[in-house]
Structure 1
């Protein structure tokens, strides 16, 4: 039993130190409010804040598009570009280049 009389084991005889170490280990790893769970929750909060910023940016972009479409000129431009609409007695020619066409390749 001389091994337990070594000076490295002296702090293990202090019951307050043992209780403090046990409490710290418990709070860091096993408790419902542990440090590990807090880290996971903080990462999730950061991800949600990034998502929130992205959606705010998208809302601003959509509001700008809505303002453009609320005018007569903007609505006509959108209809002509997206739906190939035209005025009476007007012809539309759609020019497609080879590199812009989607071609299926048989491999």
Structure 2
């Protein structure tokens, strides 16, 4: 009798544990598929963060160079934004990667 009672109690806990595990895996607000999606989105956003941090460093370096002298500021405006004086034409020669030859 005692053994039968222990077996039924053990079966109750096993069944309850399996039901709870199933609920948490598929039906809960923080279910397993949501966790995987969130993890993948986190990896994507971390990659974007690295990209934008590199871009910020690049822009800051460029800014320091340009603001350092009037000659470089004028060169930057002419090359990057194709600015010119009213009486002149500006030609920018680029290589195969569409980068200006003169840096």
Specify if TM > 0.5.
yes
TM-score normalised by structure 2 residue count: 0.63
Structure 1's unaligned 5+ residue stretches are 1-12, 101-107
* CA displacement at 1:92 relative to structure 2: 6.6
- In structure 2, which of residues 17, 26, 33 is the aligned counterpart of residue 20 of structure 1? 17
RMSD: 3.5
Greater relative contact order (Cα < 8 A, sep 6+): 2
Alignment coverage as a number of residue pairs: 86
TM-score normalised by structure 1 residue count: 0.61
After TM superposition, the structure 1 = structure 2 runs for residues 13-92 of structure 1, keeping only pairs within 5 Å, are 14-72=11-69, 73-82=71-80, 83=82, 85=84
Structure 2's unaligned 5+ residue stretches are 1-9, 97-103
Q: Larger radius of gyration, structure 1 or 2?
A: 1
Aligned structure 1 segments of 4 or more residues deviating by more than 4 angstroms: 91-96
